[in-house]
Chain A
Amino acid sequence: MLLVLSVEHRAHLGCLPRAGDAAVGELGRLALEQLRRGAAPRACESAARKLNISVDIIQHGVEGLVYLLTESSKLMISEADFQDSINVLGFSDELNKSLVQLYLDNRKEIRSILGELAPRLPSYHSLEWRLDVQLASRSLRQQIKPAVTMKLHLNENEDRTAQVLQTDPATLLHLIQQLEQALGEMKMNHCRRIVRNMK
């Protein structure tokens, strides 16, 4: 499948042949650093000074490269399709070759970075629990009422949240039974067949 580059994107990438082939290596490196660690304006400035081009053009060139690499890696397009997609830019063969090499060398790493960006549900961190027995209250004296209080700590997008739950032992046993049934489902034939096929 071919990548369709928008007019603006093509304009941003248009600075690459002006920068010269050696500079393309530098811009490629900057693009990868931006993918790994986020935008680095100072690095772009020093590259602009070294190559004697204005900072804006360097910035656009790096961003254009980043977008080109992420879109290609996302769709996992083949080398031939990548070649055809960038042919439309009208670059020299040298430049095309270095771009294709850049894509192939870093495709796997970019895919693993992109994999981490998917939204995540809150995940388990830890569970604190406490067993109490209520002996008396303002309304009723001489009771025996056991209760289990739990604090469920969750990791939600780098934040820690906590949920407090309270239940009596009978409900807790029922909850455990339901969860064990859910785990037991993994051992049934249906699940086993699917897991085997996925491996």
Chain B
Amino acid sequence: QRFRFCGDLDCPDWVLAEISTLAKISSVKLKLICAQVLRDLLGEPIEYDKILKLTSDAKLESGDVKATIAVLGFILSSAAKHNVDSESLSSELQQLGLPKAEHASGLCRSYEEKQSPLQDRLRACSLRLSQLGSVRWRVDYTLSSSELQEVNEPVVHLTFNMRDRECEKMTAIPVTLSANKFWVLLAGEALRGVAV
């Protein structure tokens, strides 16, 4: 059977298996655990101790606690990825066996509140090869050189600062252009009557 929140594909077996674990936790605690998982998905640090305390009542083993976090993370991020509204998510979770009254509706209400920030965050995390940080420029005027006594030509120095996503490093790429070359860059064509 196909589910929208799984991208119109079958639900993965491990998610089906963990739904019963989710049903063991009371709905109030489930909503609080959801809030923690959403914090993690939005890039804030997750408070694992709080989750351990919340799950201690349901007497879950440590493997089950991690599975709960994983399955909630999958449901919420996958629903945001495929832009599923909270009503459809609720009905699909009920089809999977999550009790409606509190569990599914509580989960979906948490999802609905954070759907936009979650989608913005996922958009920002999408693959990007490199990013332009800033451009700096300077115009010099060459008076003379060892080759020619009177040069009198402007020269443009540009520095592109590129940010590499993972290393958070800025690499500087310096470029030096003569005035005519700079016109080509700017206008896409040479100034009338000037050889480049």
Residues in A lying within 8 Å of B, measured CB to CB: 128-130, 138, 149-151, 160, 162, 164
Query: CB-CB < 8 A to A138: which residues of B?
Result: 188
A129 and B127 form a contact (CB under 8 A): yes
A149 and B127 form a contact (CB under 8 A): yes
Complex-state Cα separation, A138 to B166, whole angstroms: 30
A162 and B166 form a contact (CB under 8 A): yes
Q: How far is the CB of A5 from chain B (nearest CB, A)?
A: 47
Interface size for B (C-beta < 8 A) is: 5
Decide if the interface of chain A is mainly helix, strand, loop or mixed: strand
Query: CB-CB < 8 A to B188: which residues of A?
Result: 138
The residue in chain A whose Cβ has the minimal distance to the Cβ of B126 is A130
Decide if the interface of chain B is mainly helix, strand, loop or mixed: loop
In the complex, B129 has a CB within 8 A of chain A? yes
B166 and A164 form a contact (CB under 8 A): no
Query: CB-CB < 8 A to A164: which residues of B?
Result: 129
Q: How far is the CB of B162 from chain A (nearest CB, A)?
A: 14
Complex-state Cα separation, A160 to B164, whole angstroms: 14
Query: CB-CB < 8 A to A128: which residues of B?
Result: 126-127
Query: CB-CB < 8 A to B126: which residues of A?
Result: 128, 130
Q: How far is the CB of A158 from chain B (nearest CB, A)?
A: 16
Q: How far is the CB of B78 from chain A (nearest CB, A)?
A: 16
The residue in chain B whose Cβ has the minimal distance to the Cβ of A130 is B127
Of the candidates A128, A138, A160, the one having the most CB atoms from chain B within 10 angstroms of its own CB is: A128
From 117 to 167 in chain B, residues with beta carbon under 8 angstroms from any chain A beta carbon are 126-127, 129, 166
Query: CB-CB < 8 A to A160: which residues of B?
Result: 166
Query: CB-CB < 8 A to A130: which residues of B?
Result: 126-127
Q: Can you list 14 residue pairs at the A/B interface with Cβ under 8 Å? A: A128-B126, A128-B127, A129-B127, A130-B126, A130-B127, A138-B188, A149-B127, A149-B129, A150-B127, A151-B127, A151-B129, A160-B166, A162-B166, A164-B129
Closest 6 CB pairs of A and B: A130-B127, A128-B127, A151-B127, A164-B129, A130-B126, A149-B127
